[in-house]
Chains A and B, each alone.
Chain A
Amino acid sequence: MESQDSLELYQKRIPIITRSVKGKFRRFKTTVLLLGFAVFFLLPWVPWHRAHGIPQAVAFDVTQRKFYIFNLIVYPQDVFWLAFLLFIAAVFLFFITTLLGRAFCGYFCFQTLWTDAFMFVERWMQGERSVRMKLQKQAWNGEKLVKVGGTYAIWLLISFWTGMTFVLYYGYAPDLLHRFFTGDAASAAYITVFGLTFSTLIAAGFMREQICAYVCPYGRFQSVMYEPETLAVTYEYRRGEGKNGRIGMKGELKQREKRQEQGYGDCIDCSICVQVCPVGIDIREGLQYRCISCGLCIDGCNEVMKSVGFPQGLIRYDSELNAESAAPKAPHLHWKRLKVLGYFAALVVMTTGLIVDIANEKDFECSVEQIRQPLYVTMSNGDIRDRYEIRLTNQADESVRFHISAEGLPPGALNLGLMQDALVHSGHSIIVDVGVELKPDQIKQYKSFEFVIQSLANDKDRVEVPMNFFSESSGI
Chain B
Amino acid sequence: MSMQKQQQQPQTTGHVWDGDLQEYNNPLPNWWLIGFYLTVIFAIGYWFLYPAWPIAGTYTKGFATIRYTNDKGVTKTVHWNSRALLMEETNAAVAKQKPYYDKIGSMTPEQIAKDPDLNSFVISAGKSLFSDNCAACHQQGGVGKMGFAPNLTDDDWLYGGHFDQIQQTITLGRHGYMPPFRGVLNDQQMTELADYVLSFTKVPVNPESAKAGDALFHSETAACYYCHGANAKGRTVIGSANLTDNIWLWANVPAAKTVADKEDAIKHVITNGLHKGVMPTWGGRLSADQIKLLTVYVHDLGGGQ
Footprint of B on A, CB under 8 Å?
1, 3-4, 6, 8, 371, 373-374, 377-382, 385, 387, 389, 417-419, 422-425, 428-433, 435
Q: Which of A1, A387, A424 is within 8 Å of B10, CB to CB?
A: A1
CB pair A380–B119 under 8 Å, yes or no, is no
Q: Cβ of B106 < 8 Å from any Cβ of A?
A: no
Shortest distance from the beta carbon of B118 to any chain A beta carbon, whole Å: 10
- CB closest residue in chain B, given A429: B120
CA distance A380 to B158 in the complex (A): 12
In the A-B complex, list the 4 residue pairs whose CB atoms are closest, starting with the nearest: A373-B141, A380-B245, A422-B116, A431-B120
Known: A3-B9, A418-B110, A430-B119. A8 touches B4 (CB 8 A): yes
CA distance A371 to B140 in the complex (A): 12
Known: A8-B7, A377-B154, A380-B242. A423 touches B116 (CB 8 A): yes
CA distance A387 to B303 in the complex (A): 11
CB pair A378–B154 under 8 Å, yes or no, is yes
CA distance A377 to B114 in the complex (A): 24
CA distance A161 to B145 in the complex (A): 63
Q: Cβ of B246 < 8 Å from any Cβ of A?
A: yes
Q: Which of A1, A371, A382, A385 is within 8 Å of B141, CB to CB?
A: A371
CA distance A8 to B4 in the complex (A): 8
CB pair A377–B153 under 8 Å, yes or no, is yes
B 247-294 contacts with A by CB, 8 A: 247, 254
Known: A373-B141, A431-B119, A435-B302. A380 touches B246 (CB 8 A): yes
Q: Which of B7, B140, B141, B156 is within 8 Å of A380, CB to CB?
A: B156
Shortest distance from the beta carbon of A413 to any chain B beta carbon, whole Å: 14
Q: How many residues of B contact A (CB 8 A)?
A: 31
CA distance A145 to B4 in the complex (A): 29
CA distance A433 to B301 in the complex (A): 8
- 11 contacting pairs across A/B (C-beta < 8 A): A3-B8, A4-B8, A6-B8, A374-B151, A374-B153, A377-B151, A378-B254, A423-B116, A430-B120, A431-B120, A435-B302
Having A380-B155, A417-B304, A433-B302, one finds 19 other A-B pairs with CB under 8 Å, namely A6-B8, A371-B141, A373-B141, A374-B151, A377-B153, A378-B254, A379-B156, A385-B153, A389-B123, A417-B300, A418-B110, A419-B113, A419-B116, A423-B116, A425-B117, A430-B120, A431-B123, A433-B300, A435-B302
B 108-144 contacts with A by CB, 8 A: 110, 113-114, 116-117, 119-120, 123-124, 140-141, 143
- CB closest residue in chain A, given B109: A418
Residues from chain A with Cβ under 8 Å of B10 in the complex? 1, 3-4
- CB closest residue in chain A, given B117: A430
Shortest distance from the beta carbon of A437 to any chain B beta carbon, whole Å: 9
CB pair A385–B302 under 8 Å, yes or no, is yes
Residues from chain B with Cβ under 8 Å of A425 in the complex? 117
Q: Which of A374, A379, A387, A435 is within 8 Å of B246, CB to CB?
A: A379
Residues from chain A with Cβ under 8 Å of B300 in the complex? 417, 433
Q: Which of A1, A380, A417, A435 is within 8 Å of B113, CB to CB?
A: A417
CA distance A373 to B110 in the complex (A): 24
Shortest distance from the beta carbon of B166 to any chain A beta carbon, whole Å: 14
Residues from chain B with Cβ under 8 Å of A385 in the complex? 153-154, 302
Pick from A3, A377, A381, A387 the residue with the most CB of B within 10 Å.
Answer: A377
